Amino acid sequence: MSLRLTPPRLRDVVALCCAAALTAAAGCASGAPAPSAAKPDAAIQAVLDQRAQAVLHHDETAFLATVDPEATVFRASQQQMFGNLAEVPLASWSYRLQRTGAFPLAPAADTTRQVAARVEFDYELRGYDSTPVSSTAYLTMTQRGGHWYLASQTDGEPAGRHTDVQLWDQGRVTVVSGAHSLVLGQGGRQALGPYTELADRAVPVVDRAWPGSWTGKAVVEVPGSEAGMAALLGAEPSAYQDIAAVTTAELHGRGSAPADRIIVNPQAFAELSPLGRQVVLTHELTHVATRTATTSTTPLWLSEGFADWVGYSTSGLPPAKAAEELAADVRAGRAPQQLPSSADFTTTSAGLPQAYEGAWLACRMVAEQWGSGALVSLYRAAGKEGTDAALRATLGIGLDAFTARWRAYVAKELR
């Protein structure tokens, strides 16, 4: 996982990447909930199936029929959530009961039966997702009058079991479509429209830089606040101060191809210049495109540097401006001796801006001296063979020689 904080002086040109998780919600079909069985799992799954069908068929009555009629506050929030989904173009929506007894429940106040359930929730956006977004929900199921109902999705929190948060849990979702992008967010179409323009411009740039099999589409989520962004990622709001955007591309396990999202921090994003906003979206979309080629053997200097190389490719910025912090270090006699390590990319690293800048220069050097095709080949090879072997196979030099060449390049470009 990697995070990039926006350096105060480079806030107009920095892109950020992180990991994050996406969430659980609820849904149903038609009619009353299924009657209970001797073993509740089958009956609970039937209720979940009904909810899913209700969401897909926009049937609010059937959806609410699966909610405990005695859980009035929860029922009201579920009705609101259902309304928040009205514009979302869903291709699929499903639940899979993983196990019951997933967390301890307090005794019911009456004679009703309660069961804790761990549920996997999947959904896909029509025309954009080729694989589902998956998340986990911790639900309380209540049996009343021979029927099972959903009564809560927060009872697991005291035991450390948190249901993931989705955008529609935070408010009504507005959807804006572009030529290559889909933007979902809180706020009006006028506020969300610029994100489609940025994403639509980024897609062809990424396409040229990364020839290969990726969707060629961007899904961008814009919550209403920085706190909303943090909630979508399951973190404290303070963790994302000054972070303009993140991508979920690095969270779901390297080497697979989940449905990735670019999640925007609207407060930090608003502070960027027009150029900075374009660089951010292009950087994040590059992570989505390179998803299937990125593995645990891909060094962060290569994955982050490549994303910045693509992001800056149309910026026209000279190296000393794009790598301002590192340039200051070089002029002060503090030129880097080693390529950035994984630790250099942590949010607590004092040299975080320099890590990104050094990584960008490494990829820029490869593209200039060996060609952009060699840089792409290096990226793909590093995900399979490791850094030294990939360098030897694609550039003809090992890691030590590459590092020495990079040091010289940094000194020349930033002097």
What are the pLDDT digits (tens) for 326-353? 999 999 999 999 999 999 988 678 888 9
Residues 408 and 355 in one domain: yes
The domain total for the chain is 3
27 occurs within a structural domain: no
pLDDT bucket at 16, cuts 50 / 70 / 90:
very low
How far is 358 from 364, CA to CA, in rounded Å?
Answer: 10
Q: Are residues 261 and 312 in the same domain?
A: no
Q: Are residues 159 and 237 in the same domain?
A: no
What is the pLDDT at residue 345? 87
Across 273-288, average pLDDT: 95
Phi, psi (5° rounding) for residue 67? -100, 140
Q: Is 232 exposed, middle or buried (0-12, 13-18, 19+ CB in 10 A)?
A: buried
Among residues 164, 186, 205, which one ends one of the domains?
A: 164
Looking only at the bridges linking them, the beta strands covering 218-222 and 181-185 are: parallel
Are 174 and 290 found together in one domain? yes
pLDDT at 24: 33
Could you give the CA distance from residue 227 to residue 246 in angstroms, rounded to a whole number? 14
Decide if 206 is inside a domain.
Answer: yes
Mark which of 294, 320, 340 sits at the end of a domain: 294
For residues 166-177, average pLDDT: 96
**Do 354 and 326 meet the contact criterion of CB atoms below 8 Å apart?**
yes
Any domain includes 243: yes
Do 271 and 176 lie in a common domain?
Answer: yes
* CA nearest to 196, candidates 206, 184, 185, 182: 182
Residue 37 in tokens: 């069985």
Q: Are 193 and 274 in a shared domain?
A: yes
Gap between the Cα atoms of 212 and 286, Å rounded: 12
What spatial distance separates the first Cα and last Cα of the chain, rounded to whole Å?
Answer: 32
d(CA 384, CA 210): 17
Q: Give the Cα separation of 245 and 233 in Å (integer).
A: 11
Residue 231 lies in a domain: yes
CATH number at residue 155: 3.10.450.100
Q: pLDDT higher for 65 or 108?
A: 65
Q: Are residues 177 and 289 in the same domain?
A: yes
Angle at 394 between CA 283 and CA 303, to 5 degrees: 20
Q: Is residue 365 a contact partner of residue 406, using CB atoms and an 8 Å limit?
A: yes
Q: 68 or 256: whose pLDDT is higher?
A: 68
Tell me the whole-structure pTM to 2 decimals. Answer: 0.85
In a domain, 34, yes or no: no
Rg (CA), the chain: 24
* Two structure tokens written together for 396: 């003809």
Question: Is 304 a domain residue?
Answer: yes
Q: What is the pLDDT of residue 4?
A: 38
| Domain range for 144 | 40-164
Residue 289 shares a structural domain with residue 171: yes
- Domain boundary, last residue among 294, 314, 347: 294
* Contact present, 117 and 139 (Cβ < 8 Å): yes
The C-alpha atoms of residue 262 and residue 246 are separated, in whole angstroms, by 6
Is the domain of 320 the same as that of 363?
Answer: yes
pLDDT tens digit string along 20-59? Answer: 333 333 333 344 444 444 468 999 999 999 999 999 999 9
Same domain for 146 and 172, yes or no, is: no
| Residue 85 neighbours by CB under 8 Å, 6+ apart | 25, 55, 168, 173
- pLDDT, residue 111, reads 56
115 in a structural domain: yes
The CA distance from 97 to 43, in Å, is 11
Percent of the residues in the chain that have a pLDDT greater than 90, as a whole number: 73
Contact of 252 with 20, CB cutoff 8 Å? no
Mark whether 14 and 50 lie in a shared domain: no
- Order the strands of the 181-185 sheet from edge to edge: 174-177, 181-185, 218-222, 262-264, 245-247
Q: Within a domain: residue 30?
A: no
pLDDT tops 50 at residue 107: yes
Name the range with the highest mean pLDDT among 8-22, 169-183, 251-265, 340-354: 169-183
Q: What phi and psi values does residue 17 have, to the nearest 5 degrees?
A: -145, 145
Report the pLDDT value the prediction gives residue 45, as an integer from 0 to 100: 97
Which tops the pLDDT comparison, 376 or 243? 376
Q: Which of 186, 355, 379 is nearest to 290 (CA)?
A: 379
Claim to verify: residue 148 and residue 107 sit in the same structural domain: yes
